[in-house]
Structure 1
Amino acid sequence: MRPGTARTRIAVLVYGLASAALYSGLLPLWEGFDELYHYGYVQHVSTTATLPVIGKSSLSRELWTSLDYVAISHYIQPYVYRPSTSFPEYFHLPDAERESRRRGLDTIPSAFQREPSPRDNYEVKQAPLTYLLLALVDRLLAGAPLPLRVLALRELLSIATIVLLWFGTRGLARRLGLEGPAETASLFAIFSCQMLYGNACHIANDALMLPWLMFFLDAVIDSCQSPTLSRSARTGFLMALGILIKASLLIFLPFAFVAPVWILIQRRASLRQAARLTAVSAGIILALAGPWYVRNLTLYGSLTATLDTTSGVGPKELLSAAVSVPWRESIAGMAHSALWTGNNSFTTFSASTLDLVLFLLALAALLYGLRFRRSLPEVITVSGIAMYCAGLVYITLSFTYSSRGSVTAAMPWYMQVLLAPVIALCFLGLARWRRWGRWTAIATVSLWGYVALATWVAKLIPLYGGFEEAHARPRQLLAWYFQDSARRDSILANLCPAPLALLNVLFVAVLATLMITWIRVLAALLRGSALGFPPHELP
């Protein structure tokens, strides 16, 4: 491996960490998907040392009161059931009023953390692991102002997610045979996706799903290639962690037992040996995750306690929904939102640009399909992606039925778990084609870099800094950055959880690491003799 390639991989990690730190600090309170309720779960555990129960656990008085001081998306205003301020309304407040609101937010009495509010917390049905871990830190920070606590938990969760995802993706790439500049390019694309940070940089259990799948696929591959009791134990342990992170990961449960089945098919072991491997995985899963799911059955009469399983959605209802879903529009909407969704404001990026990103990914997937190899790592990875896609279909049908057709697609945060394995396979496909692969990789990296740059400069900073034009034009943006800086700084200083000085430092760091990494990745791809694609895989 060339030293330059290793340095570029590290640069990608630094770029991802800087992006996560800025996103966490920039995102206003409760602008992350359902973050108000997810943090309410964390706070309940940290203040009561008990698990919450649906119908009995509410948001704290502190969180309920915080809605008097923050700005929230007009999309969720109707669902908070109390007077609130939208972002446009907040932007037009006098500077003194914004400063007064921030002081009020910072000085909500700490006693309110333990007092209930009239608002039930509908997220307490979520699997508990992420919330238990965050509650330990939240308890240590109980005396800090609310914005500082939320910022600390976001930074901790997002940085852990980025680091774990980097290692997990590298592990899967190694097993797939993806290496050199092709591997680095795939990492750059992954860490340039806005929705990666939309998932990872707010308090919720969605973040840890992203690296979990990579480590789980690595474990399944290793267990099938060389089945041992220790590897079966590792697979079972990771499966248990997964379903304690998010109940939707139960769809991967059959994968925990692929190795015993595989060695029986290959006649590499006896039935007794396969049974021992199965028993090890099953025993660990039942011991670690069993109590939580028994609790769900006891309290709610449902294994997962999710809305679809507690509201009477059965096969008949799913079949009825399947007929009514406009599948072409639904799939297109999910693909777009998986790449770019402006948090709870649900703004989006240029549709034509996202279409081009999707076209290049589809081309890479086609090239991969034409050179697909039936190796164990590839079969397991493709099967895992296909299995989760089946789960997305189920989620889509559940949403369609329960919303009576007003929602006909899975929410964007459900798709992010597939980001890393899909992009890894796409770049593996490109690595198997000399001319087509090289130029498609260059075009893909160029476009992802542009989207990442525009995301920060033209979308997110303006979105939360008071720029109110729906479509940003270069001349307007330049005028806003240089002529309206005092108003922008006032808004960001009072709206965002991170201090303004830190936001400015992180903004410069993100732009610098993005440009350096982007140039290094493109330079490696442009050097035809140094593509890093295995010579035996070239046509």
Structure 2
Amino acid sequence: MIRSDRTFWLGLMVIVGLYLALGVAYAWRTPLWQAPDEPAHYNYARYIATEGQLPILEPGDYPAAYLEEIKARRFPHDMSIDSLQYEAHQPPAYYAMSAALLRLAGEAPIATQLRLMRLLSLLLGCCAVALLGVLTMRLFASRDLALSATMLAAMTPMFIADTAAANNDALAFAALTAVAVRLAAPASHRWTWPASALLGALVGLCVLSKFQAYVAVPLVAAILLWDVTVSHQLTWRQALQRSAVIVGLAGLLSAAWLARNVAVYGWADVLGLARHDAIVVGQLRTVDMIADAGWQRYLSAYARTTFQSFWGQFGWMAAPLPERVYQPLALVVTIAGVGLLAGRQRVWQTGSAAYKRGVALLAVSGALTTASFAWYNLQFVQFQGRYLFPAMPALSIALACGLVAACRRPGWALALLGLATVALIGTGMMRGDLPLFSIVLCVAVALGLLLMHHLPPRWHWLAPVLVAGALAALNVYSLIAIIPLLRA
């Protein structure tokens, strides 16, 4: 039982503590406003604190030229952030909590107010990290998997930096992961009336937190459908009854905000998204980039920038990690992917019904978040990996499982590394410039895989732990060498 597993809870506390320590360092060392859209998030909360009502998104709230200038000058004291109001359409939950903190802060300096908002985000991030561990333990009853996956997520540099900034991301991650935890409850009380009511409240919190968290709605629908058609835990009538409770409570919690939006933006724009699209004149749109650069360069930038910014690209995407950092990260992800593909059929065939349901939950969550990210980029060029963080449970669990699978059955991974090494040597000789770093990296990873393969199976879980440890070290490097570059 998860409640009696003291080792799991102790390990989870250590991971959350380490995440919190690094997050506090990011919150304090990151210069004011050097996180995406942070001034607009702050202005939203400040408006509630001073005016006692929600702001209205209006033309002029996105001064594109001024925003580019103030970013280029790194937010000097002689340039005000007051005109940056373009997040005013966002759901209000995080900003209401932040407004309460700002009222308590009174006339404190603006730096203190901003750091209070950052610390609020960080505490919500602690909840998200802890819930990720609980979710993994509930789904797969494996302490090793739960702790290694949680550590991988919690040590991802961009995840820490993002959840240590003043924005509504951490609340969305926590709310969405809480929904997944509720869906992963033991079968005996998964769909009781109280459980359905709690799930409805959590979905309502998702609606009030951030648009990216709205994937909770189709996620709940998909798992309900699974429990009717696959696991047969519910009849169609029971599913409809539970759905009514969930939708009713979620609607009740969000009704006031939605009604206010109807009054302000109209029935056709209940979420304010059309108003947002209309006022962000000057933001680079996908059709314009494709027209200028072509599909090939667009897709290349999409993949490259998304990958890099998922792991670490700080400030307003202006401070990436060194290029050589991304190479081993890409290799680790590739090895994990090969490991998953090599073992997928055997594991699926031998897995229990509960295991398959857990995989389905994670797969649907990951697919919905990825689709949401792709849909957003159909309109605007937003190659920011942080938009994939709502799927962090699925991504970190897949990474941990893939690394362990590659250690247990390294054949395909070793073959890939061998081919890559030969290709690097061949192309290097043709160009007269051997890529020694990449060659040594492939050889080192291959030797590491062979070494791990010959260890007892329990020790294979050391692979994701070592990767998480390397990510922790990368955070220290980022705080010392990258974050200071953001200062004016």
| Partner deviation per Cα, 1:484-537 (whole Å, 9 max, x = no partner) | xxxxxxx8xxx8xxxxxxxxxxxxxxxxxxxxxxxxxxxxxxxxxxxxxxxxxx
Secondary structure of residue in 1 paired with 2:83:
strand
Q: 1:254 offset after TM fit, Å?
A: 1.9
Alignment of 1:414 with 2:381, yes or no, is no
| Residue of structure 1 aligned with 2:311, choices 339, 354, 361 | 339
| Partner deviation per Cα, 1:377-408 (whole Å, 9 max, x = no partner) | 11111111011111111011111xxxxxxx3x
User: 1:77-226 counterparts in 2 under 5 A?
Assistant: 78-79=66-67, 85-86=73-74, 119=83, 121-162=85-126, 164-177=127-140, 179-222=142-185, 226=190
Q: TM-score, normalised by structure 1?
A: 0.68
Alignment of 1:16 with 2:19, yes or no, is yes
**In the alignment, is the contact (CA less than 8 A) between 2:136 and 2:145 conserved in 1?**
no
**In the alignment, is the contact (CA less than 8 A) between 2:25 and 2:479 conserved in 1?**
no
Alignment of 1:284 with 2:304, yes or no, is no
| 2:447 alignment partner in structure 1 | none
| 1:385 alignment partner in structure 2 | 366
Q: State the identity %.
A: 18
| 1:98 alignment partner in structure 2 | none
Q: TM-score, normalised by structure 2?
A: 0.74
Q: Specify the code of the residue in structure 1 equivalent to 2:30.
A: L
CA distance in structure 2 between the aligned counterparts of 1:384 and 1:175, rounded to whole angstroms? 16
User: 1:227-246 counterparts in 2 under 5 A?
Assistant: 227-246=191-210
Q: 1:82 offset after TM fit, Å?
A: 6.7
| 1:450 alignment partner in structure 2 | 470
Alignment of 1:38 with 2:41, yes or no, is yes
Q: 1:307 offset after TM fit, Å?
A: 5.5
Q: 1:145 offset after TM fit, Å?
A: 1.4
Going from structure 1 to structure 2, the CA distance change for 1:9 and 1:297 (only over 3 Å counts) comes to: same
CA distance in structure 2 between the aligned counterparts of 1:237 and 1:129, rounded to whole angstroms? 13
Alignment of 1:250 with 2:214, yes or no, is yes
Relative CO higher for 1 or 2, CA cutoff 8 Å, sep ≥ 6? 1
| 1:395 alignment partner in structure 2 | 376
Q: 1:444 offset after TM fit, Å?
A: 4.5
Going from structure 1 to structure 2, the CA distance change for 1:320 and 1:231 (only over 3 Å counts) comes to: farther
Q: Specify the code of the residue in structure 2 equivalent to 1:450.
A: A
Q: 1:331 offset after TM fit, Å?
A: 1.9
CA distance in structure 2 between the aligned counterparts of 1:180 and 1:126, rounded to whole angstroms? 37
| Residue of structure 2 aligned with 1:460, choices 474, 479, 488 | 479
| 1:26 alignment partner in structure 2 | 29
Going from structure 1 to structure 2, the CA distance change for 1:43 and 1:378 (only over 3 Å counts) comes to: same
Q: Specify the code of the residue in structure 1 equivalent to 2:67.
A: Y
| Residue of structure 1 aligned with 2:51, choices 30, 48, 52 | 48
CA distance in structure 1 between the aligned counterparts of 2:84 and 2:74, rounded to whole angstroms? 22
Give the count of matched residue pairs.
Answer: 417
Secondary structure of residue in 1 paired with 2:56:
coil
| 2:437 alignment partner in structure 1 | none
CA distance in structure 2 between the aligned counterparts of 1:218 and 1:383, rounded to whole angstroms? 14
CA distance in structure 2 between the aligned counterparts of 1:185 and 1:382, rounded to whole angstroms? 19
User: 1:267-278 counterparts in 2 under 5 A?
Assistant: 267-278=232-243
Q: Specify the code of the residue in structure 2 equivalent to 1:382.
A: A
Alignment of 1:306 with 2:273, yes or no, is yes
CA distance in structure 1 between the aligned counterparts of 2:275 and 2:303, rounded to whole angstroms? 21
| Partner deviation per Cα, 1:425-481 (whole Å, 9 max, x = no partner) | 332344557634856754544344334324423x33334546x9xxxxxxxxxxxxx
| 1:480 alignment partner in structure 2 | none
**In the alignment, is the contact (CA less than 8 A) between 1:224 and 1:258 conserved in 2?**
no
Alignment of 1:426 with 2:407, yes or no, is no
Secondary structure of residue in 1 paired with 2:183:
helix
Secondary structure of residue in 1 paired with 2:320:
coil
Going from structure 1 to structure 2, the CA distance change for 1:260 and 1:452 (only over 3 Å counts) comes to: closer
**In the alignment, is the contact (CA less than 8 A) between 1:430 and 1:436 conserved in 2?**
no
**In the alignment, is the contact (CA less than 8 A) between 2:309 and 2:385 conserved in 1?**
yes
Going from structure 1 to structure 2, the CA distance change for 1:345 and 1:333 (only over 3 Å counts) comes to: closer
CA distance in structure 1 between the aligned counterparts of 2:389 and 2:236, rounded to whole angstroms? 38
Q: Specify the code of the residue in structure 2 equivalent to 1:292.
A: W
**In the alignment, is the contact (CA less than 8 A) between 2:47 and 2:53 conserved in 1?**
yes
Q: 1:118 offset after TM fit, Å?
A: 6.9
**In the alignment, is the contact (CA less than 8 A) between 2:403 and 2:463 conserved in 1?**
no
Q: 1:171 offset after TM fit, Å?
A: 1.6
Q: 1:368 offset after TM fit, Å?
A: 3.0
Going from structure 1 to structure 2, the CA distance change for 1:175 and 1:268 (only over 3 Å counts) comes to: closer
Q: 1:133 offset after TM fit, Å?
A: 0.9
Q: Specify the code of the residue in structure 2 equivalent to 1:296.
A: N
User: 1:344-383 counterparts in 2 under 5 A?
Assistant: 344=316, 346-369=318-341, 370-371=343-344, 372-373=347-348, 375-383=356-364
**In the alignment, is the contact (CA less than 8 A) between 1:233 and 1:281 conserved in 2?**
yes
**In the alignment, is the contact (CA less than 8 A) between 1:16 and 1:191 conserved in 2?**
yes
Going from structure 1 to structure 2, the CA distance change for 1:414 and 1:2 (only over 3 Å counts) comes to: closer
CA distance in structure 2 between the aligned counterparts of 1:381 and 1:117, rounded to whole angstroms? 40
Unaligned runs of 5+ in 1: 65-75, 91-100, 106-115, 400-406, 469-490, 496-539
| Partner deviation per Cα, 1:346-381 (whole Å, 9 max, x = no partner) | 211133332322332232234234235361111111
| Residue of structure 2 aligned with 1:330, choices 282, 286, 302 | 302
Secondary structure of residue in 1 paired with 2:57:
coil
Going from structure 1 to structure 2, the CA distance change for 1:286 and 1:257 (only over 3 Å counts) comes to: same
CA distance in structure 1 between the aligned counterparts of 2:216 and 2:84, rounded to whole angstroms? 31
CA distance in structure 1 between the aligned counterparts of 2:262 and 2:335, rounded to whole angstroms? 45
CA distance in structure 1 between the aligned counterparts of 2:109 and 2:69, rounded to whole angstroms? 24
CA distance in structure 2 between the aligned counterparts of 1:418 and 1:260, rounded to whole angstroms? 19
Q: 1:199 offset after TM fit, Å?
A: 1.3
CA distance in structure 1 between the aligned counterparts of 2:368 and 2:120, rounded to whole angstroms? 30
**In the alignment, is the contact (CA less than 8 A) between 1:182 and 1:431 conserved in 2?**
no
Secondary structure of residue in 2 paired with 1:375:
helix
CA distance in structure 1 between the aligned counterparts of 2:36 and 2:121, rounded to whole angstroms? 15
**In the alignment, is the contact (CA less than 8 A) between 2:59 and 2:279 conserved in 1?**
no
CA distance in structure 2 between the aligned counterparts of 1:433 and 1:24, rounded to whole angstroms? 36
CA distance in structure 2 between the aligned counterparts of 1:391 and 1:309, rounded to whole angstroms? 17
Q: 1:41 offset after TM fit, Å?
A: 0.3
CA distance in structure 2 between the aligned counterparts of 1:217 and 1:251, rounded to whole angstroms? 11
CA distance in structure 1 between the aligned counterparts of 2:311 and 2:205, rounded to whole angstroms? 26
Unaligned runs of 5+ in 2: 349-354, 411-451, 454-459
Q: 1:284 offset after TM fit, Å?
A: 0.8
